[in-house]
Amino acid sequence: MTRISKPIEILLVEDNPGDVRLTREALYDARVNNSLHVVNDGVEAMAFLHREGQYADAINPELILLDLNLPKKSGVEVLAEIKADEILRRIPVVVLTTSHAEQDIVRSYNLHANAYVVKPVDLEQFITVIKSIEGFWLEVVRLPLDDKQ
Amino acid sequence: MSNTSIDILLVEDNPGDVRLTMEALHDANVPNTLHVVNNGVEALAFLRREGQYKGELIPELILLDLNLPRKSGAEVLAEIKADDKLRRIPVVVLTTSQAEQDVVRSYNLYANAYVVKPVELEQFISVVKSIENFWLEVVRLPPEEKQ
């Protein structure tokens, strides 16, 4: 199932530089060729997905990892906008957050988050979780192809 | 995560696939209870606790075949994801179909994940174990709707 020629494009929406770095390292070692794009707030995330401004040439990601607690526009707002968009809603969104709050979990699933994952504080566990996301979403799941525009 | 067993609903009409899924989940690290229905009409009756399913629990995870008798998996998926009480439940589509239109339609109907069933037995079990690892061990599943 490995795709050598074309990497799987992943968009990480995360404002914490430490979490960005750990995610990058965990995915760098992944068995499946992937390319990680990072934006640091919700407004940038939507600009990337709509290919606006500096993101005019951005590639449509095949998977989105979304923090909930983001500057400028919250992860919940980003999720709601993606899942209400005819073109974007097919892209799986994995919420990756420190929040254990039941209301965040329920609200995310009700807004059609594809999965809700709590970020472990412990470094080793954080990497294990990213590798598990990689193992399922890049190796087992059939991702939707980029919409022909 | 609660220490009680996770309730999973498998909607599958192929007895061989039911058996393999059951065996793969039986060995899981996380205690789970697999409920099985064999067609789309039964699936919705189970989820809405109608008729013979009156006393049933609402599952925390649904594994849904697409090619089902009486009501298709796509119809079941659309009804679950349009229902305010049910739509929070993650639905993993588990199908033999590799057709791009089935993949896109399922995600557009808010399937949580689309997984192609391998024909080969060992690979089939490995896929179910991977679903188990991610959804039962890593994901935070939503709590049941308060009645």
Query: Taking a contact as any Cβ pair under 8 Å apart, which residues of chain A between 108 and 137 contact chain B?
Result: 109-110, 112, 114-118, 129, 132-133, 135-137
Strands across the sheet containing B32-37: B32-37, B6-11, B61-64, B91-95, B113-116
Q: Inform me whether the pLDDT recorded for B71 exceeds 60.
A: yes
Contact predicate A12/A75, CB 8 Å: no
Q: What is the pLDDT of residues B120-130, one digit of tens each?
A: 999 999 999 99
The residue count for chain A:
149
CB A113 within 8 A of CB B88: no
In A56-85, the residues whose Cβ lies within 8 Å of chain B are 83
If you count them, how many residues does chain B have?
147
Mean pLDDT, rounded, for A130-140: 94
Subunit contact B134:A132, Cβ cutoff 8 A: yes
Other Cβ atoms less than 10 A from the Cβ of A72: the count is: 14
Looking at residue B3, what is its pLDDT? 53
Considering the entire predicted model, what is its pTM?
0.94
Q: Which residue of A has its CA nearest to B83?
A: A110
Query: Which residues pair with residue A11 across a beta bridge?
Result: A37, A64
**ipTM of the complex in this document:** 0.93
pLDDT score for B143: 87
Mean pLDDT is highest, among A29-38, A140-149, B12-21, for B12-21
Nearest-angstrom CA–CA distance, B132 and B123:
14
Amino acid A5: pLDDT: 59
Q: Going by C-beta distance under 8 Å and a sequence separation of 6 or more, which residues neighbour residue A87?
A: A147
Q: For residue A137, give both structure tokens.
A: 């979403």
pLDDT of A149 reads 40
- What are B32's strand-pairing partners? B6
User: For strand B6-11 and strand B113-116, is the pairing parallel, antiparallel, or unpaired?
Assistant: unpaired
Q: Is the pLDDT of residue B12 over 60?
A: yes
| Residue-wise pLDDT tens digits, A40-96 | 999 999 999 999 999 999 999 999 999 999 999 999 999 999 999 999 999 999 999
* pLDDT (average), residues A3-24: 88
Nearest to A49 by CA among A98, A7, A85: A85
Chain A residues inside the 8 Å CB shell of B60:
none
